[in-house]
Structure 1
Amino acid sequence: MQERLAGKSILVTGAGSGIGKAVATRFAHEGAAVVFSDRDGAAAHRAAASCRDAIGVELDVSDEGSVERAYAEIAGRGIALDVVVANAGVQLFGHDAPVADLDLDVWKRTLDVNLTGTFLTVKHAVRALRGRGGSIILTGSPTGLTGEGAEFTAYSTTKAGIHGLTRTVAAAYAREGIRANAVVPGYTETPLVTSISDDPESRAAIVSRIPLGRPGTPADVEGIMVFLASDEAAFATGSLFRVDGGMTTL
């Protein structure tokens, strides 16, 4: 297999499980040196152990001190990053709700991880990439584009914010050779969504809204992430790349 990312060093947040782990593992198989990071440091180290030329780093995206320490550890190991994937996120099923029913604490907890955490990851990514350029990839959601997330006010709002942050960062740093794009996975079965995938009625309802007729898997997201991390995407910035089985076409 051609190694499309040979010679690149990549940081992925939320890489202890789900989409983040799958994407980081694919990056390693494509020849990249990969930093698996996660709030659960043990999970990050376990995931990295299965790949060549990979390390695990504990990183809580909602805590700027933790973010700064992680980037400093990466630099201290002599790793000059080329790509950062801001993927870490939460969805508080059973707590997130339509706006009139949403507790302030749930709102704050979701924003702290999803939006503030993405902001902090990208802030320090830009600092790490300056002078050389590179690619920043953010993980969005159809809930930030359509009414798909009507029952999840906090989550949907954070994802809409991530889409806006993508465009802002792309515009601000294009002349420095730093690209920013968002990947927008549809309903993807990972540990994040077990409250849906374990409920046959809920699962059937959401799958019925996907024109391709099936849920997504983490593997479905890998290819577009590899493209955006690679030099093949050198002219792509400020865009949202939908990998949702057609969900947002409805």
Structure 2
Amino acid sequence: MTAPSFDLTGRLAVVTGASRGIGAAIAEALAASGADIIGVSTAPAPGSAVERAVTAHGRSFSARAVDFADRDAVAALGAELEQLPVDILVNNAGTIERAPAAQHPLELWDRVIDINLSSQFVLTQAVGRGMLSRGHGKVIFTASLLSFQGGINVPGYAAAKSGVAGLVKALANEWAAHGVNVNAIAPGYIATDNTQALRDDPDRSRAILDRIPAGRWGRSDDIAGAAVFLASPASDYVSGVVLPVDGGWLGR
């Protein structure tokens, strides 16, 4: 028996939401394992921190700009990427809007669903066609603890992330037999922009920390190892899984 391979040398990975936080950490980790990176974000900057991190590992980096609330723009990006030999797609771009359900503005609901769910399908459908034609590929979504739970004051986000979990299973059912693995990572409470409001609230922050067996907020690089695993040959028989990386939250 040989050791499982986490080597991504020669692979091309697309990472959305790559400019900061979890996306940047995943992009760097994939590059450290040998992958070249296409980083997608709303407004990528030349010579960005993620570009420097990727190229420091000797891998190539190119940037794409897209507004994930603009379906036509996402479809155009998908059409471009479908023509490239993309081996790994990390659907990480996302947003969150906080307001009680009874007063939640419908425009915020629509925006979150468009960015966190609909655009993910549009892009994956296009890139997935290329993977299916080549007979191999890895698709990784960023799900959430709210793929399992309901959250508070984030109905659109909870609905979208629950939808991501369902989409992962639906795509896995169709694509696994054709060499394309579709899975998701469900980050726990990670110290990123999306959780800034929670961390700034002493009572809410303490309540969260009290429930996490690991006793700390997660870091973006805590997600990186799971992403490398799901992108690598080591996970070739893993399909349709939503993998929590949460410091033990769901086990509490």
TM-score norm. by structure 2 comes to: 0.89
After superposition, the C-alpha distances for 1:156-212 in whole angstroms (9 at most, x for unaligned) are: 111000000000000011221111001001000012221122333322121112121
1:77-156 superposed matches below 5 A? 79-93=84-98, 96-97=99-100, 99-132=101-134, 133-147=136-150, 149-156=151-158
After superposition, the C-alpha distances for 1:61-108 in whole angstroms (9 at most, x for unaligned) are: 3323322433455567xx410010011100113xx32x3232211111
Alignment partner for residue 34 of structure 2, among 31, 35, 59?
Answer: 31
After superposition, the C-alpha distances for 1:203-240 in whole angstroms (9 at most, x for unaligned) are: 21211121211111111100010000001100000011
1:43-82 superposed matches below 5 A? 47-52=50-55, 53-74=60-81, 79-82=84-87
Secondary structure, in 3 states, of the residue corresponding to 2:168? helix
For residues 19 and 141 of structure 1, do their structure 2 counterparts lie closer, same or farther at Cα, with a shift above 3 Å needed?
same
CA distance in 1, matches of 2:35, 2:104: 42
For residues 243 and 32 of structure 1, do their structure 2 counterparts lie closer, same or farther at Cα, with a shift above 3 Å needed?
same
CA distance in 1, matches of 2:79, 2:149: 38
Contact 2:147-2:186 at 8 Å conserved across structures: no
CA distance in 1, matches of 2:71, 2:48: 21
CA distance in 2, matches of 1:214, 1:44: 32
Name which of structure 1's ranges 41-50 and 219-228 shifts more when overlaid on structure 2: 41-50
CA distance in 2, matches of 1:162, 1:187: 18
Question: Does 2:163 match 1:158?
Answer: no
For residues 72 and 104 of structure 1, do their structure 2 counterparts lie closer, same or farther at Cα, with a shift above 3 Å needed?
closer
TM-score norm. by structure 1 comes to: 0.90
Correspondence for 1:234: 236
For residues 37 and 44 of structure 1, do their structure 2 counterparts lie closer, same or farther at Cα, with a shift above 3 Å needed?
farther
Secondary structure, in 3 states, of the residue corresponding to 2:226? helix
Q: Which has the higher contact order (CA 8 A, sep 6+)?
A: 2
Correspondence for 1:221: 223
CA distance in 1, matches of 2:47, 2:185: 22
Name which of structure 1's ranges 135-144 and 204-213 shifts more when overlaid on structure 2: 204-213
Name the amino acid aligned to 2:94. G
Secondary structure, in 3 states, of the residue corresponding to 2:170? helix
Name the amino acid aligned to 2:13. I
Correspondence for 1:11: 14
Contact 1:110-1:154 at 8 Å conserved across structures: yes
Name the amino acid aligned to 1:126. G
Name the amino acid aligned to 2:172. A
Q: Which ranges of structure 2 fall in alignment gaps of 5 or more residues? A: none
CA distance in 2, matches of 1:44, 1:163: 34
Contact 1:37-1:44 at 8 Å conserved across structures: no
Contact 2:25-2:224 at 8 Å conserved across structures: yes
CA distance in 1, matches of 2:217, 2:74: 32
Name which of structure 1's ranges 125-134 and 16-25 shifts more when overlaid on structure 2: 125-134
Contact 2:13-2:37 at 8 Å conserved across structures: yes
Secondary structure, in 3 states, of the residue corresponding to 1:11? strand
Secondary structure, in 3 states, of the residue corresponding to 1:50? helix
Q: Which ranges of structure 1 fall in alignment gaps of 5 or more residues? A: none
For residue 150 of structure 1, report the CA deviation from its aligned partner: 3.0
Count of aligned pairs: 243
CA distance in 1, matches of 2:106, 2:97: 13
Contact 1:184-1:244 at 8 Å conserved across structures: yes
Moved over 6 A (4+): none
